[in-house]
Structure 1
Amino acid sequence: MTFHAADNRYETMPYRRVGRSGLKLPAISLGMWHNFGDDKSFEIQRNILRRAFDLGVTHFDLANNYGPPAGSAETNFGRHFKDDFAAHRNELVISTKAGYDMWPGPYGEWGSRKSLLNSLDSSLTRMGLDYVDIFYSHRPDPETPMEETMGALDYAVRSGKALYAGISSYTPAQTLEAARILKEMGTPLLIHQPSYSILNRWTEDGEPNLYETLDTVGAGSIAFSPLAQGVLTDRYLKGIPADSRAAKEHFLHGSDLTEEKMGRVRALNDLAGERGQSLAQMAIAWILRERPESSPVTSALIGASSVSQLENNVAAINNLEFSEGELRAIDACAVEPSL
Structure 2
Amino acid sequence: MYQANPHRYVDMPYNRVGDSGLKLSALGLGLWNNFGSVDDIATQTAIIHQAFDLGITYYDLANNYGPVPGSAEENFGRIMAGDMHPYRDQLVIASKAGYLMWPGPYGDWGSRKSIIASADQSLRRTGLDYFDIFYSHRPDPHTAIEETAGALDQLVRAGKALYVGISNYDGAQTRAITRVFRDLGTPFIIHQPRYNLFNRDVERDLFPVLTAEHKSAVGFSALSQGLLTDKYLHGIPADSRARKATIPFLHPEQVDQTLETVKRLNAVAANRHQSLAQMALAWDLRQPAIASVLIGASRPEQVAANVGALANLTFSTAELREIDRILADQGPISWGAH
TM-score (norm 2): 0.96
The 3-state SS of whatever aligns with 2:222 is coil
Structure 2 CA distance for aligned equivalents of residues 338 and 233 of structure 1: 19
Q: Structure 2: which amino acid aligns with 1:96? A: S
The 3-state SS of whatever aligns with 2:217 is strand
Determine the structure 2 residue equivalent to 1:137: 136
The 3-state SS of whatever aligns with 1:20 is coil
Determine the structure 2 residue equivalent to 1:214: 210
Q: Structure 2: which amino acid aligns with 1:323? A: S
The yes-or-no answer on 1:296 pairing with 2:289 is yes
TM-score (norm 1): 0.95
Identity of aligned residues (%): 54
Verify the 8 A CA contact 2:194 2:220 in the aligned structure 1: yes
The yes-or-no answer on 1:241 pairing with 2:237 is yes
Structure 2 CA distance for aligned equivalents of residues 103 and 258 of structure 1: 36
Deviation at 1:337, TM superposition (A): 2.0
Deviation at 1:329, TM superposition (A): 1.1
Out of 263, 280, 299, which is 1:266 matched to? 263
Determine the structure 1 residue equivalent to 2:226: 230
Out of 280, 299, 313, which is 1:283 matched to? 280
The yes-or-no answer on 1:11 pairing with 2:7 is no
Structure 2 CA distance for aligned equivalents of residues 296 and 139 of structure 1: 20
Structure 2 CA distance for aligned equivalents of residues 48 and 162 of structure 1: 25
Structure 2 CA distance for aligned equivalents of residues 286 and 172 of structure 1: 21
The 3-state SS of whatever aligns with 1:257 is helix
Counterparts in 2 of 1:314 and 1:338: CA distance versus 1, 3 Å = closer
Map 1:15-30 to 2 at 5 A. Answer: 15-30=14-29
Determine the structure 2 residue equivalent to 1:115: 114
Q: Structure 2: which amino acid aligns with 1:48? A: I
Determine the structure 2 residue equivalent to 1:153: 152
Determine the structure 2 residue equivalent to 1:330: 323
The one-character-per-residue Cα deviations of 1:255-284 (angstroms, maximum 9, x if unpaired) are 12225x210100101111111000000000
The one-character-per-residue Cα deviations of 1:158-206 (angstroms, maximum 9, x if unpaired) are 111000010001000000011100110011321000000011101013x
RMSD value over aligned CA atoms? 1.1
Structure 1 CA distance for aligned equivalents of residues 9 and 187 of structure 2: 28
Deviation at 1:338, TM superposition (A): 6.7
- What is the total number of aligned residue pairs between the two structures? 330
Q: Structure 2: which amino acid aligns with 1:132? A: F
Verify the 8 A CA contact 1:103 1:109 in the aligned structure 2: yes
Structure 1 CA distance for aligned equivalents of residues 331 and 250 of structure 2: 19
Verify the 8 A CA contact 1:179 1:188 in the aligned structure 2: no
